[in-house]
Structures are given as structure tokens and as C-alpha cells.
Structure 1
Amino acid sequence: MPSSGNINRTLFELDLLRAMVMVADCGSFTTAAARLHSTQSTISQKIRRLEAIAGHPLLIRGNRDVHPTDAGQTLLGIARQMLSLNDQMREALAGATVAVTVRLGVPEDFVNARTSELLGRFNRRHPQVKLEVTSGLSRDLAAAYDHGELDLVLVKQRRNSRQGVACWPEPMRWVDSARTPCIGLDPVPLVTFPPRGLYRDELIAAVEGMGRRWRISFTSSSLSGIQGAVADGMGISLLPARAMTREHRALTARQGLPPIDSIEIAMLHRSNAEPLVLELASQFMRLLQRERR
């Protein structure tokens, strides 16, 4: 038997440790072999291999029973922990479900109670799914989708500018401040999204069509920023009907503003999308169809 200073660096195999624990618990090679569905000679071989690795005798073999040595007692305490951890690992992995991530992009005005309720129901049905939701300008969401960064997106666009899985007309409203209206000012102050932002061209074209002078008074890439600026009397704007608040007043043809029916909501996902993406897309379709009624 080699000395403790020359302990073999081979890893302790769990199968050998299990044999050691069973022999110690049973006090017998014969009984341990029966419980492990093995033979006495095989169990004896495993104990000898374990002793060779440990560099110490681990069991005292008596005429009637078997007892662990001091080194055996030390090994048994750690062996039981290792076997227990192995069992925990096996159980955890047996019940584990591979996490799936669904990356969703929606315009800011879709971040509301209805959307949260929809996503909550989806998450309860699929607790293994991790939802990553991005909100922002439609042009940014479309670009992220084109770069493969999103799986499912809803975007605002001019009608028929891009083919989507499904499209819905988006009702638009001219909005002014309820407290300090600006429509009568000359030039008319306009609150807009940045250049190339949706609604901006429609807004400017409509005011020019009225023969009115105009100026850009406030620009923001944030929907909440646009909503707040209009409410505070910084100018008029063009927004989805869903984005109007109690602090806004709707402007109509009485003020000379034309109806805008050129905007739509488009849903985009890939033809080979995962079933969970398709299920979430179907739920958003039903939500938008209900809102259209």
C-alpha cells in the first residue's frame, strides 16, 4: 500500500465511493453486493481500487463484519456528501426545462395594461420562456428585426410600405393641449418625432395644405415626451388615437385638418419562426382585432 505522500491523483469515482458507503453501512461485502445488484468479488475489487487511489486501508475486514479505518471514516463523511450532491444534480437536471427566449419589439404606445396582461398570460402558460421586450420607434424596431435581434415585432408604417404577416389600419388623431391650445397661433408650433420619424411628414404636409405657416417647436424620439409637450401647450401633433390622454384635445376638420388614414400597424416574424413565437403572434393578432371592433 503506498504512503499518504504518494496519493494517486486519479479522481475519486462515484461508483467506488457508493460501494464503500454501502459496505460500511451493511458491515458486509455480501449484503452490500446484493443491494447494489452486483457480486461480492466485484465489490471487493472496487474497494481495493478505492484504497489504491486513497493511499490508505479504508476497511478492517473481520471474521464476521467489516469496519472502516480512521481514514475510512474520513472518506465516508465526504463520500456521502459527494453522493448526495450527485443525486441533487441528477434530480435538478431531470426536472429542468431548457429556457427559451422570445424577443419582442413593440412601439411605445403598445406598452400598456392590455399588452402587459397578454404577456402575463403567455408567461403563466409557458413559465420556461424568458420574454425580452423592446419598445421604441418603429424604424429602430424594424432595423433590429432585420439584423436578427428580434423575433417578433409590431411596427407603425405607411400603408403597404412593407409586407407583414398581418396589417391593421391605425386610427390617427390631431392633438392639441386641452389647457393651452396652440392651433390658433401663427406660425403654428409643431411637436414632432425626429426627421424620418413616422407622422412627421404627414403633420407638416397637412399644415402646409391649410395654407398655414408653421415652425418646429419641440422634437423628441420618446412618445411620452411628445405627449407631455402637447399637453403643456408647446404645439400640436399627430398621434395614434390610443396615445391620446385627458390632457389632450382632438382637432378635427373644423380646424381645417384632414383625416389621416395612411398609417398601419404591421406584424413581422420569420416564416420559420419557433412555435412559441407563432403563438405569441396569434395572441397579438386577436388583441388588435378586438381593438378594431
Structure 2
Amino acid sequence: MPALLDVDQLRTFVAIADTGSFTRASEIVHKTQSAVSMQMKRLEERLGKPIFMRDGRQSRLTEDGERLLDYARRIVKLSSEALTALSDVDLTGHVRLGLPDDYADRYLPEILARFSRSNPRVEVTVVCEPTPDLVDSLNDGGLDLAIITHTDRRGPATIVRQEQLLWVTASNAMVHEEDPLPLALGRPTCAWRRAAFERLEAVGRSHRVLYASWNSTAVGAAVLAGLAVSVLPESAIRPGMRVLGPSDGFPALPSIKIALLKNPHETSTLIEALADHIVASLDNLSDAAALAAE
């Protein structure tokens, strides 16, 4: 009979794949680096083939490691869902979740619906702030969990979703032909704003910020009014908007990573339960990998 895969080893394997580092993964799974290394050694022994190769200071997946990653994500996700569904613990208490307002519009209904069905006696406080403020609140103990736009400089995080950034304008507007190009974007520290500037400057396109706001509704209003061009993730495109591409003179934008961060000073069954529900609600990584394999 073939040996069964260990879910805990697979959870660690996913953390290494997401961070590219055994050290950063050890912080996510709350194990020592030597314990993480031993887990991966045993996983490779069980599989009978290597799943990592060294690339400087980073750990890259081998071809077999890439094949395993999709299965590992699904196994870990199903394991968490099964434990939550079959748990006899009737959770009560209070948990604090932070996320930017645009993520709240798109993702919060499913997260809260899924979580409340399983835990009707839990009070969830939701705080909507920009990513930098959420990270500060989390580190200061003001939040238990935060859904953020992730960049590598922010360090270890659980990546739960990936989306393509797109240039958008109003369906019936020609504002994208103006020179300089009027933009509606987030505040100066916004990663999407920096990406837009970098791409426009790379092609020598002059531009100016006409509207700046942390509020996605305000940015969307400027776009829909035909006053400016903006950048949005694919899932944020609204009726009345159209996507601009290379044929319109707009260079491709990078994809964004959406991550789940936990309070480093606080942990509980309640926090872990909400975290599992968030991952299950937002995860589009394994789905994309499954489609690519078909």
C-alpha cells in the first residue's frame, strides 16, 4: 500500500513555496528551521524524489515540486474545512478583521456568510483601512487578522489570492487619449499607484494624478464619470468600465498578491477558524493551477 502524505508536512511545504524561504516559512508554521528542514527531508523520502533545488539564498521547486504544490494546497484546504465542519466546539467570542475597503466590497460577503453559518455566536469586528495602516494595527495588537495587498518587502505572509492589475476607463470615454494622461489612483504609498507610474514612465507616457484617494468608491466614481484612467484588479472591474491594453497604448501591468496576516502576538482557536474560512473563500491559486493543468 502506498505511503500516505502527511498534512502537516504539506502545510509546511506550501509555506516554503509561497515565501521562497525555509526561514520565513518556519515563522508562518511556528516551527524551528531545523524542524522545517526535517519535515521536507521526510516528505522527499516519502515521495522518493527531490522537490526543492537551491537558487542562491532562495529555495525553488523542482518540476516534481511544482506538480505536488497544487495537490498540497487542495489537501491542506480540504483538511481545514473538514476539521471545521466536524468540530463539536461551539465557538464564542470576538475577533477583529481588517481589510481595505475595495477588498471588503468584493470578498467580505462570502467570508462572513461562510464563517457565520459555522459560528453564529461569534462577533466579528471589521476595520476598513489601507494596507499600510492595517499592518501597523496588526503589529500594535489592534487587529487579529488582516487581508492586505502583499509585496515582498513586507516579509512572510500567507498568499491567498493572485489577480492581474488592469488599466480601466469608462466604457464611453476617450480620456485615455489625453496628454498628459489623467489618473485616479490611491495615495503615494499605494503599490498599484507605483506600478502604474513605473509602466507609464517606461514607455515615456506623460501623466498626472487628477484624483487621489484611499477610497475605492471615490476612485471608481472618477473613472465612471469619464474623468480619469485608473488601475484595478480583474475582480474589481465594474459595469460601465472597459479595460485598456497594448492596442490602446497601455503596457501590461503586474499581477498583485493578496495575503492574510495574523497578529504575531495573539493566537486562538477562534482566530484560526476565521483564518481558515478566509483562505477557503479567497483561494484562487489552486483553481488556476488546476485549470492550467487541464
Normalising by the residue count of structure 1, what TM-score does the alignment of the two structures yield?
Answer: 0.61
Letter in 2 for 1:127: P
Inter-partner Cα distance in structure 2 for 1:133 and 1:247: 29
Question: Post-superposition shift, 1:262?
Answer: 4.9
Alignment length, in residue pairs?
Answer: 197
CA distance in 1, matches of 2:159, 2:195: 23
Q: Distance in 2 between matches of 1:113 and 1:262?
A: 17
1:276 is aligned to 270
State, as a whole percentage, how many aligned pairs show the same letter.
27
Contact 2:168 2:232 in 1 (8 A): yes
SS in 1 for 2:275: helix
Determine the C-alpha separation between the residues in 2 that align with 1:167 and 1:99.
26
Correspondence 1:183-222 to 2 at 5 A: 183-222=176-215
Q: Partner residue of 2:257?
A: 264
Offset, 1:160: 5.7
Report the counterpart of residue 138 of structure 2 in structure 1.
145
Over alpha carbons, which structure has the higher Rg? 1
Please give the residue correspondences for 1:172-191 in structure 2 after superposition, counting only pairs within 5 Å: 172-191=165-184
What secondary structure sits across from 1:112 in the alignment? helix
Deviations 1:237-262 (A, max 9, x none): 11111211111110112123222225
In 2: Cα distance, 1:246 partner to 1:180 partner = 14
Give 1:142 deviation, angstroms: 1.3
* 1:5-44 deviation per Cα after TM superposition (whole angstroms, max 9, x unaligned): xxxxxxxxxxxxxxxxxxxxxxxxxxxxxxxxxxxxxxxx
Q: Which amino acid counterpart does residue 205 of structure 2 have in structure 1?
A: R
- The 3-state SS of whatever aligns with 1:183 is helix
Which runs of structure 1 show a deviation greater than 4 angstroms over 4 or more consecutive aligned residues?
Answer: none
RMSD over aligned Cα atoms: 2.2
* Unaligned 5+ runs, structure 1: 1-96
Instruction: From the superposition, tell whether residues 208 and 290 of structure 1 become closer, same or farther in structure 2 (CA, over 3 Å).
Output: closer
Amino acid aligned to 1:289 = D
What are the residue-to-residue correspondences of 1:44-193 with 2, within 5 Å? 100-112=93-105, 115-159=108-152, 161-193=154-186
TM-score, length-scaled by structure 2: 0.61
Q: Give per-residue Cα distances to partners, 1:164-209, cap 9 Å, x unaligned.
A: 1334323211111112231110111111111112211111121122
Deviation of 1:281 (Å): 0.9
Measure how far apart 1:221 and its partner are. Answer: 1.5
Larger RCO (CA within 8 A; separation ≥ 6)? 2
Alpha-carbon contact 2:183-2:207 (below 8 Å) kept? yes
| Aligned equivalents of 1:276, 1:98: Cα separation in 2 | 7
Partner deviation per Cα, 1:52-78 (whole Å, 9 max, x = no partner): xxxxxxxxxxxxxxxxxxxxxxxxxxx
In 2, Cα distance between the equivalents of 1:189 and 1:117? 34
SS in 2 for 1:279: helix
State the match for 1:253 in structure 2. 246
What does residue 80 of structure 1 align with? none
Partner of 1:21: none
CA distance in structure 2 between the partners assigned to 1:113 and 1:253 by the alignment: 27
